[in-house]
Amino acid sequence: MSTGPKDALARAQQRGRHGRQQEDGVLVIRTIAMPADTNPAGDIFGGWLMSQMDLAAGNMAGRVSQGRGATVAVEAMQFLRPVKVGDEVTLYATLRHIGRTSMRIHVDVWARPRFELAAEKVTDADFVFVALDDDGKPREIPQT
């Protein structure tokens, strides 16, 4: 059975249902927003969410490129609604494109209030990762 980038792309297109809206991509991270992650207004700090998204995209990039990599760009990020302390935060990654050395990975973030059943989408963005060699230079993404 092949495990190349095309298979990774196919796997990444798996769909799951959670709450009343459709969520796309592979579930990569599920965590709970904690008081330490808040901004001065008491809502969850956008920087914390961005770091979770970078971790989620990096997880998929490592799987696809079978080695180390780095974020080279973050595009089209939007924050749709705030995340509150205690929310269950779930990150889904979808592989959108594989280049010679780079991968474009879309990350969707959903939040479910602690005592409710349905999750709502709170943010999404495209992350571009570059596969790196031991010297920190771009390396070709392996075909197998």
Euclidean distance between CA atoms 75 and 50, whole angstroms: 12
User: Residues 25, 19, 110, 125: what is their CA dihedral angle, to the nearest 10 degrees?
Assistant: 40
Residues 80-139 that bind ligand COA (CB under 6 A): 99-102, 128, 130, 138
Q: Binding ligand COA by CB under 6 A: which of 34, 73, 80, 118? A: 73
**90 vs 101, beta carbon nearer ligand COA:** 101
- Scanning the chain, the segments in alpha helix (DSSP H) are 5-12, 46-65
Partners of 98 in beta bridges = 103
x/- map, 8-47, ligand COA, by CB under 6 A: ----------------------------------------
Contact footprint for ligand COA (CB under 6 A): 70-73, 99-102, 128, 130, 138
